[in-house]
Structure 1
Amino acid sequence: MAERLSSEARKQALGGLAGWNETPGREAIGKTFTFKDFNEAFGFMTRAALVAEKMDHHPEWRNVYKTVEVVLATHDAGGVTALDVELAKAMNAIAKA
């Protein structure tokens, strides 16, 4: 099982994750991605899903038209782990592509 990051380690990791923030009320990180249209948003989700599946680490997310809201936490660890940070970095890279 992945080890949960300390509060300090989580804050440090967030410093290197553009647009990601702590999720209020729980130990998780989140970001809202906004795209040109639904097609771009859904394309992002498709590419991110392939990466998440390879990592065996799946996001909580919600899509409305051109917006994708993502929350990452490792449920088995009870909070944010290195897996969440890695997936967040991959999502940022996918969104820029």
Structure 2
Amino acid sequence: MTEKLSDTGRDTMLAPLYATGWTLCEGEDAICKTYEFADFIEAFSWMTRAAFWAEKWNHHPDWRNVYKTVEVKLTTHDVGGLSSLDAKLARKLDAL
């Protein structure tokens, strides 16, 4: 079972993500990032690849797509905040 990140876990797992453009979402225990692509097809293709990983890990992002932009929010609803699954999925999204 996944647990909510401790203060030490937050420092260790989230600091590298902040360096790649992730931020804490305002008013929530979640991280957010906006990805911009060349066009809609590139954005949607990235979302499709991301969806396979989200399904494989049973950890699904809250996201919104408008044309070539994808806004992503990650949190673990089962623990009421950020967990290691959020950091893991964020790293994968950045790698895609």
TM category, shorter: over 0.9
Cα RMSD for the two superposed structures: 1.1
Which letter does structure 2 place at the counterpart of 1:42? F
1:16 corresponding residue in structure 2: 16
Q: What CA distance in whole angstroms lies between the structure 1 residues aligned with 2:10 and 2:69?
A: 25
Give the total of aligned pairs: 94
Q: Distance in 2 between matches of 1:4 and 1:49?
A: 23
1:2 partnered with 2:21: no
User: Equivalents in 2 of 1:43, 1:7: separation in Å?
Assistant: 35
Compute the TM-score of the two structures, normalised by the length of structure 1. Answer: 0.91
Is 1:91 the counterpart of 2:93 in the alignment? yes
Return the offset for 1:83.
0.4
Code of the aligned partner of 1:3: E
- The C-alpha deviation readout for 1:39-90, integer Å capped at 9, x for no partner, is 1100010000000000001000000000000000000000000001000000
Contact 1:14 1:21 in 2 (8 A): no
Measured after TM superposition, the shift of residue 16 of structure 1 is 1.0
Stretches of structure 1 that go unaligned for 5 or more consecutive residues are none
* Structure 2 spans left out of the alignment, 5+ residues: none
For each residue in 1:2-55, what CA deviation from the matched residue of structure 2 results, as whole angstroms up to 9, or x when unmatched?
A: 100124432432221111111110100010000010011000100000000000
With structure 2 as the length reference, what TM-score do the two structures score?
Answer: 0.92
Aligned to 1:29: 31
In structure 2, the residue corresponding to 1:80 is in which secondary structure?
coil
